[in-house]
Copies of this chain bind each other. A is one copy, B any other.
Amino acid sequence: MRYSKLFGKTTKNITADADSINAKLLTQAGFINKEISGVYNFLPLGLKVLRNIQQIIREEIDAAGGQEILMPVLSSLESWQKTGRDKSWAEVLFCLNNLVLNPTHEEVVTPLVQKYIFSYKDLPIAVYQIQEKFRNEPRAKSGLLRGREFNMKDLYSFHLHNADLDKFYDEIIVAYKKIFKRLGIGERTLLTYASGGSFSKYSHEFQTLCDTGEDTVYVCEKCNVAVNKELIEELNVCPQCGNKELKEKRAIETGNIFKLGTKFTNAFGFKVASPDGDLDEIVMGCYGIGPSRIMGTLVEVFNDEKGIIWPESVTPYKFHLIGLDPKAEEIYNLLNDNDVLFDDRDDVSAGAKFATADLIGLPVRLVVSAKSLEAGGIEVKERNNTNINIMSLDDVILKYGKAR
């Protein structure tokens, strides 16, 4: 992609939420633009990152047995009245006469699955979607971390027995760990114990350690798990090993999983025929992870004073090619257009091009200049490394690969 043609160039002119690094950097670098409080436009670079995050999640949830569906934004208030969440969630519910903008989809997925599943033989079943959610946050803030309109992957599983739910729940913990690892935040994202509600002793969050996070967690460094703030008051030790030396750290909640028991299935009278001909209750689990919030989290975690530093797994392009010599055109044409953002502008100084590259934060910067060509090739610098090397194009492709 030629940077001269890209919609959404870097800008220092657009004011972003001053309270968050991700809003500031993503806005200045041309990834997102705020429409109204808590509601963002995704520009071409930002949409590519969002899609890459979604695809990693999709692949791992598919592998764990989830089937992708797409439920609507709108549902009927009546469904929310059946579960009583029209009242308990009233504060964040966007209501429009008898319609709800879904802030989560238990009230949609439960009666939907009920229409197709009649027998114990059809269980377990797990369906998920990647869809926008809406919450009327009184204080939308922190860029992509807390929006009024935001993107979610929400998975729902239905089981005949708690033992089967427990097994699937543990499999999703494993899938989530794979997802966070692929996103580049595996080591700093901890399975975090939270209060369980009526149906299980604990639920779990995934908390990504980050100094700018709004959550506080208590980390057991022996087990590499954490306890959230709500639970720590009743449980002052690591729930896995009993360790009392928990370290207080800041974190961002990037995922959560929850055993819902029969709360929603019973509210809709969803039961199935059992082997002996009775009707059996169904237990349910829900598993959330927010791609747009992940995008904000990655920027909060991976940045420096110059800009963003994208993990290779989600970057919009692998290479940022800076042309300071006509020969750069030739090298651009030899690379895969999907791999490279080519700063071909001729009315911008070299210094401004370097600053743009650092702000956008693609993994590998390639500079083609009279100087680099004289030295034998392309000047190569990784965004998260200070070393600068001169390499031939063949060696660049050999080292970094052509396609992600």
- Which residues does A use to contact B, with CB under 8 Å? 6-9, 11, 14, 30, 33, 35-36, 39-44, 46-47, 50, 67-76, 94-96, 99, 101, 108, 112-113, 115-116, 125, 127, 132, 134, 148-149
Say whether A69 contacts B94, CB under 8 Å.
no
Q: Which residues of B contact A74 (CB under 8 A)?
A: 35-36, 39, 134, 148-149
Instruction: Given the known inter-chain contacts A35-B108, A76-B36, A115-B14, please indicate yes or no for A7 contacting B127, CB distance below 8 A.
Output: yes
How far, in Å, is A295 (CB) from chain B's closest CB? 12
Complex formed: what's the CA distance from A309 to B25 in Å? 49
Other A-B pairs beyond A35-B71, A40-B72, 7, CB < 8 Å: A7-B127, A35-B112, A41-B72, A46-B70, A47-B68, A74-B149, A95-B96
The listed residue with most B CB atoms (<10 A of its CB), out of A42, A116, A149, is A116
Q: Which residues of B contact A41 (CB under 8 A)?
A: 69-72, 108, 112
Say whether A116 contacts B11, CB under 8 Å.
yes
Question: Which listed residue, B11, B50, B115, touches A70 by the CB 8 Å rule?
Answer: B50
Q: List 13 A-B contacts (CB under 8 A).
A: A7-B67, A8-B116, A35-B74, A35-B108, A35-B112, A36-B75, A40-B72, A41-B71, A41-B112, A44-B68, A50-B70, A73-B73, A101-B101
Complex formed: what's the CA distance from A112 to B99 in Å? 29
Say whether B33 contacts A67, CB under 8 Å.
no
Complex formed: what's the CA distance from A148 to B98 in Å? 14
How far, in Å, is A264 (CB) from chain B's closest CB? 16
How far, in Å, is A71 (CB) from chain B's closest CB? 5
Instruction: Given the known inter-chain contacts A36-B74, A134-B74, please indicate yes or no for A67 contacting B94, CB distance below 8 A.
Output: no
Q: Which residues of B contact A67 (CB under 8 A)?
A: 6-7, 44
How far, in Å, is A261 (CB) from chain B's closest CB? 21
Q: Which residues of B contact A72 (CB under 8 A)?
A: 35, 39-41, 132, 149
How far, in Å, is A232 (CB) from chain B's closest CB? 36
Instruction: Name A6's closest neighbour in chain B (CB-CB).
Output: B67
Q: Which residues of B contact A70 (CB under 8 A)?
A: 41-42, 46-47, 50
Say whether A134 contacts B44, CB under 8 Å.
no
Complex formed: what's the CA distance from A30 to B148 in Å? 32
Q: Which residues of B contact A148 (CB under 8 A)?
A: 74
Q: Which residues of B contact A30 (CB under 8 A)?
A: 116
Q: Which residues of B contact A73 (CB under 8 A)?
A: 73, 101, 132, 134, 149
Q: Which residues of B contact A35 (CB under 8 A)?
A: 71-72, 74-76, 108, 112
Say whether A69 contacts B47, CB under 8 Å.
yes
Q: Which residues of B contact A40 (CB under 8 A)?
A: 72
Complex formed: what's the CA distance from A47 to B131 in Å? 12
Question: Which listed residue, B7, B113, B149, touches A69 by the CB 8 Å rule?
Answer: B7
How far, in Å, is A168 (CB) from chain B's closest CB? 14
Q: Which residues of B contact A6 (CB under 8 A)?
A: 67
Complex formed: what's the CA distance from A125 to B116 in Å? 46
Complex formed: what's the CA distance from A41 to B69 in Å? 8
Complex formed: what's the CA distance from A376 to B316 in Å? 51
Q: Which residues of B contact A7 (CB under 8 A)?
A: 67, 69, 113, 116, 125, 127
Q: Which residues of B contact A134 (CB under 8 A)?
A: 73-74
Instruction: Name A111's closest neighbour in chain B (CB-CB).
Output: B35
Instruction: Given the known inter-chain contacts A33-B115, A116-B11, please indicate yes or no for A69 contacting B96, CB distance below 8 A.
Output: no
How far, in Å, is A63 (CB) from chain B's closest CB? 12
Complex formed: what's the CA distance from A44 to B62 in Å? 12
Complex formed: what's the CA distance from A358 to B190 in Å? 49
Complex formed: what's the CA distance from A101 to B102 in Å? 13
